[in-house]
Amino acid sequence: MEIKTHGAISKKLVGAPIKIVDGVRAVAELTATSDMAADSTGLVHGGFAFSLADYAAMLAVNQPNVVLGHAQAKFTAPIRVKETMRAEATVTKTEGRKTEVSVEVKVGDKKVLTGSFTCYTLEKHVLDK
């Protein structure tokens, strides 16, 4: 499993790759920590589930200069501190540099997020002039 994108990403904040099939599918996991809690009940801020989903989409494309252009996400259940989220991303369509990726994030059997991510593979890094 060769990771070609987002090489400096924090596994503690964004997730860890579990499986990658370039241009087809990727799986990543993230365990929610107390630093991710939005309040005293241990409710995890949804941004962490979204970030994991985004990262899984980037891994499914797995190109060095892939970026997110558009995303649509639906949060379907809460996440609690200490729960492990598992994101499964599947490429649904590729047209030139544009790739559509469907992502589902679960905690066990409970679906917590579904989303559609539009990714673009650029010729050079987005910050290069």
What's the whole-number mean pLDDT along residues 104-128? Answer: 96
Query: Rounded CA gap, 59 and 28, in Å?
Result: 8
What's the whole-number mean pLDDT along residues 3-12? Answer: 92
The rounded percent of the chain whose pLDDT value lies above 70 is 100
**Amino acid residing at 2:** E
For the chain, the average pLDDT equals 96
Q: What is the pLDDT of residue 1?
A: 82
What's the pTM?
A: 0.96
Q: Do 61 and 97 meet the contact criterion of CB atoms below 8 Å apart? A: no
Joined tokens for residue 116: 């559609």
Q: What is the pLDDT of residue 70?
A: 98
For the chain, domain boundaries:
16-121
The listed CATH number (3.40.50.1860, 1.25.60.10, 1.10.3720.10, 3.10.129.10) that belongs to domain 16-121: 3.10.129.10
Q: What is the pLDDT of residue 20?
A: 96
Q: CA nearest 118: which of 67, 69, 72, 82? A: 69
Q: What is the pLDDT of residues 38-83, one digit of tens each?
A: 999 999 999 999 999 999 999 999 999 999 999 999 999 999 999 9
Q: Do 27 and 88 meet the contact criterion of CB atoms below 8 Å apart? A: yes
Q: What is the pLDDT of residue 87?
A: 98
To which H or E segment does residue 46 belong?
helix 46-61
Residue 94 has pLDDT above 90, yes or no: yes
Q: Do 104 and 113 meet the contact criterion of CB atoms below 8 Å apart? A: yes
